[in-house]
Copies of this chain bind each other. A is one copy, B any other.
Amino acid sequence: MAERAGAAEAAAGARAAPMRWWGWGEEGRAPGLSAGMLELLRERVGVSERPRPPVALANVRLGEPGLTAATAGRLRGIVGGEHVREDHFDRVVHAAGKGYPDLVRVRAGEPEGAPDAVLYPGDHEQVRGVLEECVRAGVAVVPFGGGTSVVGGVAPLRGEHGSVVALDLSRLDALHGLDLESLIVRVGAGLRVRALERRLRQRGLTLGHFPQSYEHVAVGGCAATRSAGQASTGYGRFEDMVLGLRLAAPAGDLVVRAVPASAAGPSLRELVVGSEGTLGVISELELRVREAPERRAFEGAFFGDFAAGVAALRVLAQEGSAPAVTRLSDEGETRLSLAAVGSGEGLAGLKRRLGSLYLGARGYGSGCLAIFGFEGSDAEIERRRGRVAEVVAAHGGLGVGSSPGEAWAKQRFSSPYLRDELLTHGVMVETLETAVRWSGLTGLHRSVAGAIEGALNAQGTPGLVMCHVSHVYETGASLYFTVLARQREGREIEQWEAVKRAAGEAILGGGGGTITHHHAIGRDHV
């Protein structure tokens, strides 16, 4: 049952190309800001008077590549001469991930650092060989999958090492085997999620993992960072999909063999999943897949306010009827989404389209948009859609048909492109996520938003803070904040740090022990 990536797909042309060195995604695909959005930004945030494009590639300043000839030679012996690259382009592409400070620095031609060389190993043994050689030679190694990290995950930090190399895993893109009976696929860690999904669809299967970075992220990166996708309510987080893995580490290999996920006892798998590359390099994964759904359908709903929408989502999550995509924007994000979709018409026009009579009659001066994405057979979709409609109505919500959901689905992977556009307009964009139990959700929403607004005001750059819920659980949900503000030119990083600090303190401080951010650990008495 094993199948190997076809020759055509594995050829250089089909192998995933690196993203634009100064931003997200592919050349020639840059959705601009809509007129409505620009209008809203001018009014509420402020934009730069002259465009702030990235510098020319040649003007990105890097240090001299610092690998010794002997080390470079030995590394060539391991991965092959053409797979050790020390040229300017390769080093720039691997100099940073796609976080806000990464982009600010790279666009200015001043990355924090760059790898001395980029290595492209072709298999697990080469990965281990590289790690062994680098330990011997005192060279730091940074694993690089899709390069989509937004939290500095691929920063080429030398630490106390004399030099640093990026380990680009894009050649580890094989589909090693597919167990159709157990629905388990074995793949190389460098395989892109989108490429895997396409292969699976040909067999009527799906992985069901659709993070915002879907078009570029590699499976190994998803495992190393416990990635959550937009359909996580239906498919679970990426860690729920990882059944087995192979890790190359300087001290040797670790193999976790695939067992039905929840039946495995202790947690070496858990330690590796989420280790962010600190323990070793994941070279191979065994992942759970599913039958692809027959059909998908979207349904939008408008709630009078965020609390009403949250209450509806809570009921759905706790009774087990939340659909695969379950998403609720707060008032601020709803306003911006409507502005972004419309062509200059803004909220008023959208409300017209959504049926302003109804909205007006209900007194929704503003309101919150929810999007539900259903999957399955017609009968299953109908049954679930019916129950969601009941719960929405019981919370004063109003069904607004399929168009908002379809619009969202169409552009759901393009937000990172918008970020590039915003940077060119001199606008800071940052996002941050937390999770909270239901009883603390609206309180935390208010306190974090307030803290960020306070920090922006203190920086002299009042802006927009908005939020959505996109992952719901029986006991609580995620909150995903987006912050937009006029950049403080020349002091972008300082401004960004102030926002991050304020948000982090609000998250940790809020709710008296019921709230936490991703690292949910406190130590009282160590």
A-to-B contact residues, CB < 8 Å: 128, 179, 181-184, 226, 228, 232, 236-237, 239-240, 243-244, 251-271, 273-274, 288, 290-291, 314, 318-319, 435-440, 471, 473-478, 513-516, 518-526
Contacts and interface: CB of A to CB of B under 8 A. Distances in A.
Copies of chain A in the complex:
2
Contact of A266 (B254, B314, B518): B518
Nearest to A287: B475
Contacts of A265: 226, 274, 518-520
A475 B525 contact: no
Nearest first, the 9 closest Cβ-Cβ pairs linking A and B are A263-B435, A260-B476, A265-B518, A260-B473, A252-B525, A182-B437, A270-B270, A181-B439, A252-B526
Contacts of A288: 474-475
Residue among A236, A440, A476, A477 with the highest chain B CB neighbour number at 10 A:
A476
B516 A257 contact: yes
Given A267-B274, A288-B475, A473-B260, A251 B526 contact: yes
A257 B526 contact: no
A379 to B, nearest CB: 10
6 contacts: A236-B262, A237-B263, A244-B520, A260-B437, A262-B471, A271-B271
Given A183-B474, A184-B437, 13 more contacts: A128-B525, A181-B314, A182-B476, A240-B262, A256-B520, A256-B521, A257-B513, A258-B516, A259-B437, A261-B475, A267-B270, A288-B474, A291-B318
A519 B253 CA distance: 16
A439 B183 CA distance: 9
A252 B523 contact: yes
Contacts of A523: 252-255
B475 A514 contact: no
B181 A473 contact: no
A243 B291 contact: no
A464 to B, nearest CB: 25
Contacts of A226: 265-266
A124 to B, nearest CB: 10
Contacts of A232: 262
A290 B318 contact: yes
A524 B271 contact: no
B255 A184 contact: no
A516 B264 contact: yes
Residue among A253, A314, A437 with the highest chain B CB neighbour number at 10 A:
A437
Contacts of A519: 265-266
Contacts of A435: 259-260, 263-264
A524 B253 contact: yes
B182 A243 contact: no
A387 to B, nearest CB: 11
A264 B237 CA distance: 11
A521 to B, nearest CB: 5
Given A262-B236, A265-B226, A274-B265, A253 B476 contact: no
Nearest to A128: B525
A254 B439 CA distance: 24
Contacts of A318: 183, 290-291
B525 A260 contact: no
Contacts of A183: 318, 438, 474-475
Nearest to A266: B274
A232 to B, nearest CB: 8
Contacts of A524: 252-253, 255
A343 to B, nearest CB: 36
Contacts of A128: 525
